[in-house]
Amino acid sequence: MLKLRALFAGLAVAVVFSGVSRAQSAFSTATIDLGVVVTDIEKSVKFYTEALGFKEVPGFKVPAAFANEAGLTMGKDLDIKVLVLGEGAGATKLKLMQIQGAKPAVSKQEVIESQTGFRYLTLMVTDTGASVERAAKAGAKPIAKGTLAIPQDIAPGMFLTIFKDPDGNFVELVGPKK
CATH number of the domain enclosing 151: 3.10.180.10
Q: CA triplet 87, 162, 145: central angle to 5 degrees? A: 145
Considering its fold, how many domains does the chain have in total?
1
Residue 109 covered by a domain: yes
Instruction: Report the alpha-carbon distance of residue 117 to residue 104 in Å, rounded.
Output: 15
Q: For residue 166, give every residue at least 6 positions away whose Cβ sits within 8 Å of its Cβ, in sequence order, or none.
A: 38, 39, 40, 43, 44, 47
Residue 6 covered by a domain: no
Element at 131 (helix H, strand E): helix 128-137
Residue 151 covered by a domain: yes
Residue 35 covered by a domain: no
Residue 160 covered by a domain: yes
Residue 131 covered by a domain: yes
Q: What strands lie across the sheet with 159-164, from one edge to the other?
A: 120-124, 170-175, 159-164, 148-149
Q: What is the pLDDT along the chain (178 residues), one digit of tens a residue?
A: 222 222 222 322 232 333 445 457 777 778 889 999 999 999 999 999 999 999 999 999 999 999 889 888 888 988 999 999 999 888 999 999 999 888 888 778 888 887 777 788 999 999 999 999 999 999 999 998 878 888 888 888 999 999 999 988 899 999 998 8
Residue 116 covered by a domain: yes
User: Exposed e or buried b for every residue in 35-67, given b needs 16+ CB within 10 A?
Assistant: bbbbbebeebbebbeebbbbeeeeeeebeeeeb
Element at 136 (helix H, strand E): helix 128-137
Domain range for 142 is 105-178
